[in-house]
Structure 1
Amino acid sequence: MTQTDDSIPQLAWQSGDVRHTLRWHSEAGNPPPKRVVEADDQIPADTAYKLACEGTGLLWRGDFQNARLLLQALGRRIDRARERAEAKKKGAPASPDAAQPGHAFHHQRQMQAQRARILGMLLIPFEPGFSVPLRRAPDVQAACREAYGEALAGEAFAASLRELQGLIGAHEWRKKGVAIAALDGAIHPYYGVFSPVRGEYVDLVAQAPLPSTELAFDIGVGSGVLSAVLARRGVRKIVATDTDPRALACAAENLTALAVRKQVELKQADLFPEGRAPVIVCNPPWLPARPSSPIEHAVYDPDSRMLLGFLNGLAQHLAPGGEGWLIMSDFAEHLGLRPRGMLAGAIAGAGLEVAGRHDIKPRHGKAADRDDPLHAARSKETTTLWRLKARA
C-alpha cells in the first residue's frame, strides 16, 4: 500500500517481514502507485509489464542499466498492444467521431497518457544528495539539482525512471543549448521551461517592423529568447513577466550570457506588469487543452486562459499608437480544438483591431512526417505574428 504522511506522498511496501516506507516525488504531480513491490534483474519483462499495467510500482533494486533495458522492453510491449488494438479497429465499423478533426489529437493524447502511466511504474530510489544506490548508476546529482532544487537534496526518495531520464535529457539540453540564428547565439533552457526549438516564431519577432525602441513588455518570458531578440534589435528597456520562478531564473541566465541582461527587467507576474508600453509581445501556448506535465504548460492553454487574458488586457496596457504582437499558430483550428473565427472574434471583443500580420510556415521535422497521426493538420499549419492596435 501507499500512504500519505503529513501531506508528503509516501511509498510503502513489504519485503519479507519488514515494512518499508520511502518518500515519493513526481514533478508532474502524479500520485504514487497504490501498490509497490521490489524488483531486480531477475524479473521477466512480461511479468513487469503485467504488474505495471495493473498499476503496481516496481521499485528497482538491480542494475541501473538493466532497468533502462526493461523500460525499453515495456515500451515495446505497449506499442505491440496498441498495434493489435488498431488492427482490430480496422475491421470494425468506424466511430462517427473518427471523422472529426480533433479525433486523432485526442486519441494520440490518450495513448500518450496511457504509455506514460505504464512506464511511470518503474521506480528508482535516491539517497540523500541525489545519489542512486544501484549498480552502474550514473551520476545524476547535477541534473537532479537543476530540476528539483535543494529541497529534496537532504532526503531519500523515489521517482520514476522515466522522469529521471527526462531530467538527464534536460540537463544535456541545458549544457548544449539551442542555437538561435536571430541571436547568433544559443538559449540554454531549464528543465520545465519551453525550449525554443521551433525557430520560425523567433524569426517573426526578429523581422516585424518595430513601432518603437523605447520600451517593450514580454508577456510570458520563458527562456528569455524573445526578450533577447528585442534587446538585440535595439529596444532600450524590456519588462518581462512570468509566473514561474524557474522560467525567470532561466531567462536571467540566458540574458546575462547574451550580454543583454541590463536591458531587461524580470518580474514575477500573471500577464501584464504595471503601466503601458508601445510594444507588447506575447507567445501564449497554442493549443487549448489541459497540460499533464510541467513542460506542457508552454504548449497547452486550458480554455485559452492566457490567450484571452492577453487580448482582454492589451488595450489598457498599450501606449498611444502602440502595438501588441500576438504570436499564434493555427494548428488548433486545423485540429478542430479552436473554432475558426474565434480568434478574430476575441480580438474584436477586446476592443482591438489588426494593423498587420506576418505569416511563416513551420520548419520542424514533424511538418513533413507523413507517418505522424496529426500530419494532415500539421501540413496546413501557419504561424502568425498578429500586430494588434487599440480600436479608435
Structure 2
Amino acid sequence: MDYQQAVARLLDYADFERSGRFADRPDVAPVLALLSRLGDPHLGRPTVHITGSKGKGSVAAMLESVLRHAGLRTGLYTSPHLDSYRERVRIDGEPIAEAEFACHAEAALAAAEETAASLAGRQLVTFDLLTAIGFLAFRAHRVQVQVVEVGLGGRVDSTNVFPHKDASVITPISLEHTAILGDTPAAIAREKAAIVRPPGPLILAPQGYAEAKEVCVQAAAAAGVEVVDVAARYRWQTLAKGPEGQQVRLQWGDESLEVFLPLLGAHQAENAATAVASAHALAGQGLPVTAQAIVRGLSAVRWPGRMEVLARQPLVVVDGAHNRDSARRLREALEEYFPGRRAVLVVGTLADKDIAGMALELAPVALHVVAVPFAHPRAMPAEGVASAFAAAGCPTSLARDIEDALGQALAISGGQALICLTGSLAFVAEGRRLWLANRAR
C-alpha cells in the first residue's frame, strides 16, 4: 500500500470533517478498542492534551517547538492539514514520510477490520484512524513527549483516550459548532473541559466568557487537579512588531523573558503565554525545559496559514479565520500590522459558519470582497458569502474559482490595497497552494 492508496482507504470510512455529519457517539469506546488491538500506542510517554475554540493549534505548535529545543524527541498531532495528511503527524517538528504514513495506515486499517465485530454496530471514522496513525508513529520513534490537539470538542473526540495526562490545556472558548457542542459558552465548555485528567494541571488560557471559565475550573476541581490561570499568573506585552513577527515580553512572578515570535497578531502573544505556562508545568514535573529552550523554541515556531504573509509586492496575507471571534482578531491584526491599508478580501467558508458575524467584523477593513466557491462538500455557496458582506456594507463580486478570485483581487487592489485570503482553513490551504504554485512558475 502506498501513500495515495492509504489515504483513499482511510476516506472509505465516514469522514465527518468533510461531510459535516457527526456520529451520535456517547463515548470513545470504539477508539479505545482500536488502540487496544494495536497495543495501546497512545500510552507510555508524557502527554499534553490541548482543546479550545481558538488558538489550540498555535499553542500546540509553540509548545512542541519549545520541548524540541529543550532536547526532547517530540510527537505533535494536529488537525486539519493544509496540504497533506502527513502534516498532522510530526516527529521532531517534521511530517512523517509518505512510506511511513502508509505503513502505519495499513496497520490501523487491519486493526479496524479486526475490531469491527466487537463494536456492536458502532463505527470507526476516518479521524479515529488518523489518530491511531499518529500514536503508532510516536511509538515507533520512541518520542519522549507527545503534544496532542483535539479535533472537535473534547469529550468524545478521538484523541480523548488518555487515563492520565501531564497537562490539559484549554485555549479561549467561543461559540462554534453549536449544532454539535451546544449553543452556549457553558455547554461548549463542558464538552471541552471533559479532557481534564489528573495528575497534571489544567492550563487555562484567558477566557472571554465567565461562564465558560467557571465550567473549566469546576472540571479541574472534580478531577482533583490544579488550575494554572494564565490571565492571573502571566503578563505579555508586544514591544516591537513587523511583517516578520513580534518581539514579546512575557512575565510571571518576578521573572520575565523577551522572545521573538514569528507569528503575527496580539492573540499570538497571548497564545505564547499559554504555551509558556504549559512548558513551566512540564518543567515542574521533571522535563528539562529551560528559559533558553523557551526563547529558542518560540523564535523557531512555524504555523502556516495563520496571519501568514505570502508576498510583499503585492502584499498578500492568508489567515484561517473561521468564526466571528477569529475574524475580529484578523481585523485587529490587519489594522495593527498594516495601518491605513484597506484589504481586498478573498473569502470562502463552510456553510455552518456565522458568515454574517464574520462580515460585520471584517467590514471596517474591506475595500472589496471577492466571494469564492471551493472544493469542499460543506462549502457555502459564493452567493451566500457575498450576500452577508453586502449586508455589512461591502462592495462584493463573485468568482468562478480561486484562480479567478485572485485575478480579480489583483486587479482591484491596484498594487495599493493588500490582498487577504480568509475563511475556512481548507479554503485558505487551496488558495495558498495556488498562489505559491503560480509564484514558482
Q: Provide the TM-score with structure 2 as the length reference.
A: 0.29
Q: Which has the higher helix share?
A: 2
Kindly name which structure, 1 or 2, has the bigger radius of gyration based on alpha carbons.
1
Q: Which has the higher strand share?
A: 1
